[in-house]
Structure 1
């Protein structure tokens, strides 16, 4: 009847509109009832049984179709671990990647794996990253795409070298011996990490991983190096770099970490003006010697001073200290701060602009024979200090820029160990600049009367990211990439990249802005050698496309160890020398530096990817200044485009208190202990799926907390999910969808309605996975289960499932939907919980491997005009009914529904054609004993009847047609007795079966 009536309506009206909360159809709004679908009703999957024991009722238990399944409600401890490993084996997790690569697919999804560092055991940071990637890969594979995901490892670098050598150090070991030990250490770390990733269920090409120490990879890397060198982007120069005395090597900015609690001995010191600036020599009142006052947090750099910089557009003043009449030159806006700092009044003698300081020359305080100029510079700020900046070009990046502009000396007074060289003078020679060297410089300033004040300064200072020791800035001859010339191209390329979260884009751009050059040479043995030869006498570098291409081919064939193994005649053969127009091979020696590991990993796009225009990169936020940037710069340099189409930037794993994990704090969470349990009873075995749920449920775009609370919560959520899955499995155990499924057009309307909700659910889940948002997947899943299934559909259908004839249309209709729901829910969780999903699928009627069978199979046919409106309207009336009997059993009441003639009445009439019924679809939805549908309430209602009134607003698409329909309900206790079989109040007496159950029982005898 519904289809007939609604068909007439749909022919004359626009397509049904979208509901505000739960999908398509009419926007039905109940004015007088709760919005909950099942107010006051609790279902609890599988918790209620329709036939009780005792009082003669147990005799009908065998006639009731209760759920049957051996799917366990709960798996814990060793049984859980054994089941996960069994599923990985039986469902061939190890073969899944190769299987999907061999199948035909119209589209490919490429997620390029950022190489984790091969220097230790797997940790929760690895788990967060690898599982997040795997969730997306499994989703893409399920929906039919061919996934390209080759895991890799970053294998070179100082940390591995140091750990491999341990207490041995490098004393007496050749580069080849060092490299052998480092390789062995890296291979061990890779094996442990790979085993962990596989245990977590990560699907990947484990047989074809990439390693930055492989010869083929190194050759591809050198090809990128050669192309960048040919374009003039790679060059050798003598300039300041971050230098780690504790590692004895140059560092890139990405290899620094900043210690916000670093303490420096900051000083204020004076440089007497030997020559006043010509533009202020005639200023009145300046009769005594004027001293320029400067501030620095690095006193050890004073001996290397070459100039003092000022801001041309700022105001400066000569001020007189009232406590000793000394004349000081400071920035005008810093005068008040200086007076407070010095504890004396400062009288302004004269004020002028910074540009008037041009031509001024100062005496160096500790080197009497040295004079230093006053020079303009744009990097001078007024935030701290005196507005005049001590400039030591050898030991500061901005200072070096000033030296380049004004041709100042860049002599280095610090050696590779962080100690003063002979150039610093006999008093400082061999003193550590950060310790006793600083002490001595301050003493020298005191002795010459130039020290004005010393203070303790806590500030952010760069540290070596591995040794955790402070670095210094010192000049050395290194190889650099001119990133300044790449910056604009890189920014333009980045604008075409999708960045999640979008806020990370500004950080990427800011990092690019700060980097004007990139030091890519390292003074170590464990790495890819820079393929350069130096002339024995002149030191001139021999490097060109001929030399690099030849070395790259050798690396591809033999690996980079051959740089030390082969004679130079093989590395630099006569044919290459001839093409290079170079002298005899005896004139050259091979270089000893290796490439920065960020260049190693940054070239991975060239060594691993087939098409650099279709890739997603997913890494932690620390890679904004690391792999994301090195990959971008090398790709833009060589191919004029970014190596990625999309970037996903996730946060770090931290403790539940939000603290960074460290052994000293005792808050480290070991993923192996999470899965397999620990020695302490408080660390149970959670299994891999709990770890995966933790990743999925977290807001990965912020810091991700992990600890007992988060893990227990994840376990409890999976347990609740298992209960729902068990209920579904138990009720389709004897159902064969191939022969017993009911066509949607013949189903009960509430069953059709659930198919519609399932379709909406599948669309939302698909969208969430596509947006790299598994947390939203879980929220959508939990809402669907708790609201649409547990609290609504399951509570309504149990009577039909358990007590209707096994082959009845109503029961098969319900089972058809349950099978679709089971399939849809199982597939929706599969990317997050692959072990549980496969376990469910092995119990389901199909009984095959889920991951080889595709994504959720919803159908647009499930959305039918009028269907939603009928069920939603009934749900609204049901809420009104249930809210009138809070806490009471709805089955013990008769319900009268009165609706004025109109569309709403026709919708309800389609659910119950007869005026009164105990078995209609409307009665099933109400969960009452009996429903009477009429156009007005009877006048002879009993005195104890509960009355309630309300209105519905029926709004067709676009608001073209709106109908405000009134309804009334009357609720009275039923006079019927409870049936001993189905427990519904539809029997004539307590010892008598209801008509439906009488028929079923008689037919079964």
Structure 2
């Protein structure tokens, strides 16, 4: 029996242990341990690690010295722990006790398994080269606040005055989709092998692969109980396919790319700078979440950024530059510069969670990547974490706010375009012209500048994926009567913006499908707009890079 109440509280607070990751777990462990008065470290079992103590036959006085323990340790090292049970007392005692061996009998108690496992830090951390004491993290279930976490803390503070771990991470338990405990009788047990490889009936039990199972693990907040089942796995599989589609888009549109084609950051269009600003922020946030073991936040960020933000905005807008612009045009190369940056970052941040997908991407990389030290990594895990790009984060706050406004305005424009589509005014959004008006002069000026941007990538009609966008200074009744579909965008960041949609001016270019008054102006290519005429004039074949 070990008395705890007298020394532990003072020693524990004196060592000043604080869990760096989970303060609530820290509070529970210390509170439970401090409320404990004693600890019985012996058990009356016929199995386990024997307590190497001898008792005098008549006085019952225990005999356990450093000498006797060392002698028994050498015997156990040679013959195993069973030697305690089958060897006679005379052999278990050191030589100097042989004459009085008949006065002693060996104890039959075994060590409490929690004392045994709770002292594992001494056997592992202090004995093996490359490991250090204390451990960075102890990981176990929430039930171990009274178990392993506590016994480890007791044995370590008692002998070293320090906690055996810098932090603890506690996790809940895996339940079925209904929140029920898994059991064979209920038939709700989820077998990881079947999840990965599939069951006998692949229709009912399809094999999702290891990455989908790992993706599910990353998606849940393990600090509490987590749910898994067929529906959950189907959702994870859908997410996996969407992420794979994002990476396929990046790979396919870099088929003719080389790192030496990359443009300098200062020369990039504003939309590309904004994309890199978003990427750098996401990568930094993911890094912080990895360091704090908050994998579910990583899942959420990857889902929102790589699957939603990129696909729904940047990729959508980029297709015109990638497929219609000239192969080596500035707008296409600037877009590829951004796509390459995204691919090289995303493949590294997903690798710890989705190693098979990341390696698959890396083995199909369409260009050679050379690291800063001159090495060419053959495998994805030879890569280092993406280095911080300070200039990518240096975007002015006002510019960031304005781009956020443009994205919100784009959502409102899409609503008006959808109404125009329902009303049969247009089919595709490229058949539309968008008209904007803002009461605030500064906002109107910025919108007007984007309408007439010399850099085609930053032009509003490219961002809205329409053929034309123009601004008006005022909204007269006469003018309003000519605009069949309208809407309004309001935000705390800017004044109200009026949105109108009419049919685009001019004829449809047969190459890019944009409408333009310039179609029909070129004798040798009467069905092309000015942009496409300039492309085919120097490049006879289409520049499109098909999506896999």
The answer to whether TM tops 0.5 is yes
1:749 and 2:270 matched: yes
- Distance change (3 Å), C-alpha of 1:498 and 1:992: same
The equivalences for 1:331-410 within 5 A come to none
- Distance change (3 Å), C-alpha of 1:867 and 1:556: farther
Check whether the contact 1:675–1:686 (CA below 8 A) recurs between aligned residues: yes
The equivalences for 1:699-714 within 5 A come to 699-714=221-236
Shift of 1:876: 4.1
- Distance change (3 Å), C-alpha of 1:926 and 1:685: closer
Indicate which of 873, 891, 895 corresponds to 2:430: 891
Indicate which of 75, 88, 100 corresponds to 1:584: 100
Question: What is the rounded CA distance, in whole Å, between the counterparts of 2:414 and 2:227 in structure 1?
Answer: 41
Shift of 1:761: 1.1
1:982 and 2:512 matched: yes
Structure 2 match to 1:871 = 403
Question: What is the rounded CA distance, in whole Å, between the counterparts of 1:657 and 1:884 in structure 2?
Answer: 41
1:881 and 2:413 matched: yes
1:685 and 2:207 matched: yes
Check whether the contact 1:895–1:932 (CA below 8 A) recurs between aligned residues: yes
Question: What is the rounded CA distance, in whole Å, between the counterparts of 1:710 and 1:970 in structure 2?
Answer: 42
Question: What is the rounded CA distance, in whole Å, between the counterparts of 1:907 and 1:698 in structure 2?
Answer: 43
Q: Deviations over 1:575-598 (max 9, x none)?
A: 5x5xxxx97334333333321221
DSSP 3-state at the match of 1:878 = helix
Shift of 1:656: 2.1
- Distance change (3 Å), C-alpha of 1:900 and 1:923: same
1:529 and 2:50 matched: yes
DSSP 3-state at the match of 1:756 = helix
- Distance change (3 Å), C-alpha of 1:513 and 1:782: same
Shift of 1:805: 0.9
Shift of 1:601: 1.0
Moved more, 852-861 or 594-603: 852-861
The equivalences for 1:760-775 within 5 A come to 760-775=281-296
Aligned residue pairs: how many?
A: 510
DSSP 3-state at the match of 2:501 = strand
DSSP 3-state at the match of 2:185 = coil
Structure 2 match to 1:972 = 502
Question: What is the rounded CA distance, in whole Å, between the counterparts of 2:250 and 2:457 in structure 1?
Answer: 24
Structure 2 match to 1:930 = 468
1:660 and 2:176 matched: no
Shift of 1:491: 4.8
Structure 1 match to 2:546 = none
DSSP 3-state at the match of 1:619 = strand
- Distance change (3 Å), C-alpha of 1:622 and 1:901: closer
In structure 2, stretches of 5+ residues that fail to align are: 126-130, 370-376, 422-427, 541-548
Shift of 1:646: 0.9
- Distance change (3 Å), C-alpha of 1:823 and 1:914: closer
Structure 2 match to 1:146 = none
Question: What is the rounded CA distance, in whole Å, between the counterparts of 2:257 and 2:123 in structure 1?
Answer: 52
Structure 1 match to 2:534 = 999
- Distance change (3 Å), C-alpha of 1:869 and 1:708: closer
Question: What is the rounded CA distance, in whole Å, between the counterparts of 1:559 and 1:857 in structure 2?
Answer: 52
Q: Deviations over 1:13-59 (max 9, x none)?
A: xxxxxxxxxxxxxxxxxxxxxxxxxxxxxxxxxxxxxxxxxxxxxxx
- Distance change (3 Å), C-alpha of 1:493 and 1:783: farther
1:859 and 2:381 matched: no
TM-score norm. by structure 2 comes to 0.84
DSSP 3-state at the match of 1:769 = helix
Structure 1 match to 2:13 = 492
**Over aligned residues, Cα RMSD in angstroms?**
3.1
Question: What is the rounded CA distance, in whole Å, between the counterparts of 1:925 and 1:706 in structure 2?
Answer: 40
Structure 2 match to 1:720 = 242
Structure 1 match to 2:544 = none
Instruction: Indicate the structure (1 or 2) with the bigger Cα radius of gyration.
Output: 1
Structure 2 match to 1:512 = 33
Shift of 1:778: 1.1
Q: Deviations over 1:709-746 (max 9, x none)?
A: 22222222111211111111111122112x11111111
Check whether the contact 1:493–1:641 (CA below 8 A) recurs between aligned residues: no
Structure 2 match to 1:837 = 358
Check whether the contact 1:749–1:871 (CA below 8 A) recurs between aligned residues: no
Q: Deviations over 1:76-122 (max 9, x none)?
A: xxxxxxxxxxxxxxxxxxxxxxxxxxxxxxxxxxxxxxxxxxxxxxx
Indicate which of 306, 312, 320 corresponds to 1:785: 306
1:647 and 2:165 matched: no
- Distance change (3 Å), C-alpha of 1:918 and 1:603: closer
- Distance change (3 Å), C-alpha of 1:862 and 1:935: farther
- Distance change (3 Å), C-alpha of 1:949 and 1:834: closer
Moved more, 769-778 or 881-890: 881-890
- Distance change (3 Å), C-alpha of 1:861 and 1:554: farther
1:599 and 2:115 matched: yes
Question: What is the rounded CA distance, in whole Å, between the counterparts of 1:918 and 1:937 in structure 2?
Answer: 28
1:733 and 2:263 matched: no
Question: What is the rounded CA distance, in whole Å, between the counterparts of 2:350 and 2:14 in structure 1?
Answer: 36
Structure 2 match to 1:694 = 216
- Distance change (3 Å), C-alpha of 1:728 and 1:705: same
Check whether the contact 1:803–1:997 (CA below 8 A) recurs between aligned residues: yes
Shift of 1:630: 0.9
- Distance change (3 Å), C-alpha of 1:511 and 1:939: closer
Question: What is the rounded CA distance, in whole Å, between the counterparts of 1:704 and 1:591 in structure 2?
Answer: 45
Question: What is the rounded CA distance, in whole Å, between the counterparts of 1:786 and 1:938 in structure 2?
Answer: 42
Shift of 1:786: 4.3
Structure holding more strand per residue: 1
1:628 and 2:166 matched: no
Question: What is the rounded CA distance, in whole Å, between the counterparts of 2:399 and 2:105 in structure 1?
Answer: 83
Check whether the contact 1:568–1:589 (CA below 8 A) recurs between aligned residues: yes
- Distance change (3 Å), C-alpha of 1:778 and 1:494: farther
Q: Deviations over 1:146-167 (max 9, x none)?
A: xxxxxxxxxxxxxxxxxxxxxx
Check whether the contact 1:891–1:929 (CA below 8 A) recurs between aligned residues: yes
Question: What is the rounded CA distance, in whole Å, between the counterparts of 1:656 and 1:980 in structure 2?
Answer: 52
Question: What is the rounded CA distance, in whole Å, between the counterparts of 1:656 and 1:838 in structure 2?
Answer: 31
Shift of 1:751: 0.9
- Distance change (3 Å), C-alpha of 1:910 and 1:857: farther
Check whether the contact 2:326–2:332 (CA below 8 A) recurs between aligned residues: yes
- Distance change (3 Å), C-alpha of 1:494 and 1:674: farther
Check whether the contact 1:497–1:647 (CA below 8 A) recurs between aligned residues: no
Check whether the contact 1:489–1:640 (CA below 8 A) recurs between aligned residues: no
Shift of 1:923: 2.4
Shift of 1:557: 5.3
Check whether the contact 1:483–1:517 (CA below 8 A) recurs between aligned residues: yes
Question: What is the rounded CA distance, in whole Å, between the counterparts of 1:926 and 1:674 in structure 2?
Answer: 42
Question: What is the rounded CA distance, in whole Å, between the counterparts of 1:514 and 1:498 in structure 2?
Answer: 19
- Distance change (3 Å), C-alpha of 1:510 and 1:914: closer
Indicate which of 69, 74, 89 corresponds to 1:548: 69
Q: Deviations over 1:150-200 (max 9, x none)?
A: xxxxxxxxxxxxxxxxxxxxxxxxxxxxxxxxxxxxxxxxxxxxxxxxxxx
Structure 2 match to 1:921 = 459
Check whether the contact 1:530–1:591 (CA below 8 A) recurs between aligned residues: yes
Check whether the contact 2:434–2:499 (CA below 8 A) recurs between aligned residues: yes
Check whether the contact 2:519–2:527 (CA below 8 A) recurs between aligned residues: yes
Shift of 1:627: 0.7
Check whether the contact 2:18–2:26 (CA below 8 A) recurs between aligned residues: no
Structure 2 match to 1:904 = 443
Check whether the contact 1:758–1:858 (CA below 8 A) recurs between aligned residues: no
- Distance change (3 Å), C-alpha of 1:731 and 1:630: same
Shift of 1:680: 3.4
1:563 and 2:84 matched: yes
Structure holding more helix per residue: 2
Q: Deviations over 1:410-449 (max 9, x none)?
A: xxxxxxxxxxxxxxxxxxxxxxxxxxxxxxxxxxxxxxxx
Check whether the contact 1:918–1:930 (CA below 8 A) recurs between aligned residues: no
